[in-house]
Structure 1
């Protein structure tokens, strides 16, 4: 995925070797990354045990938040595609312990469909 594409909020697949190297200290025994998508500077990682949302913060992106979401905590999710006047698509994920959903914004519908499909695969087991 190119820099310009990333700045526009396009999601693209990420090399799993790169993700596993970054997450080595965070993964549980026997856990492995199976799919990963990059949105802007953030990364959405699907492991065989949970969903990990990596939020890179600050100008340099050196400060990071790693939000871990067990698949069993996902109550529902939706993918809203863009329309004629909307320039962005949005993925919403509701967790059992919160009222407000986690929001991720995309600029291409095809990319949000790939992420939604992965979410359906892992959360609906």
Structure 2
């Protein structure tokens, strides 16, 4: 499992759906769809309409992968911070029961306000 408690921040870059790890699709249940995807150097993170799934690539060869599923039902609160003139990154903070705060920093162009609406629809449902 990704050590969410001992990592200060996860720096992510948005990716297109055709760049998503193929194995993520094997985890999806009926009616579950990916609406946003991000990557770090080797790891990936997807937001679906049901949960967040993280793939933590391990080892030198990268053949070992740890998957963590974070259901929206465990999110107690969240915040978003848009980018500014000098700080071009936007941030998402999730407060999950049992894990505490998880913070994602998104680099590059990303429509955080539309994303906030999607997250709200699933967390507040």
Alignment equivalent of 1:45, drawn from 40, 44, 47: 47
1:113 aligns with 2:116: no
Q: With structure 2 as the length reference, what TM-score do the two structures score?
A: 0.65
Taking the aligned partners of 1:60 and 1:15, their CA distance within structure 2 comes to 23
Q: CA deviation at 1:109?
A: 5.6
Gaps of 5+ in 1: 1-7
- Which is bigger in relative contact order (C-alpha 8 A, separation at least 6)? 2
Change (3 A) 1:10 1:73: same
Show the counterpart of 1:11.
14
Change (3 A) 1:120 1:61: farther
Taking the aligned partners of 1:75 and 1:110, their CA distance within structure 2 comes to 24
Tell whether the 8 Å contact from 1:82 to 1:109 is kept in structure 2 after alignment.
no
Change (3 A) 1:86 1:63: farther
Q: With structure 1 as the length reference, what TM-score do the two structures score?
A: 0.65
Matches within 5 A, 1:1-125: 9-15=12-18, 21-28=22-29, 30=30, 32-40=32-40, 41-47=43-49, 49-57=50-58, 61-99=62-100, 101-108=101-108, 110-125=110-125
Taking the aligned partners of 2:80 and 2:109, their CA distance within structure 1 comes to 9
| Aligned-partner SS, 2:110 | helix
Taking the aligned partners of 2:107 and 2:51, their CA distance within structure 1 comes to 25
Q: CA deviation at 1:60?
A: 5.4
Taking the aligned partners of 1:45 and 1:69, their CA distance within structure 2 comes to 9
Computed over aligned residues only, the root mean square deviation of the Cα atoms, in angstroms, reads 3.1
Gaps of 5+ in 2: 1-10
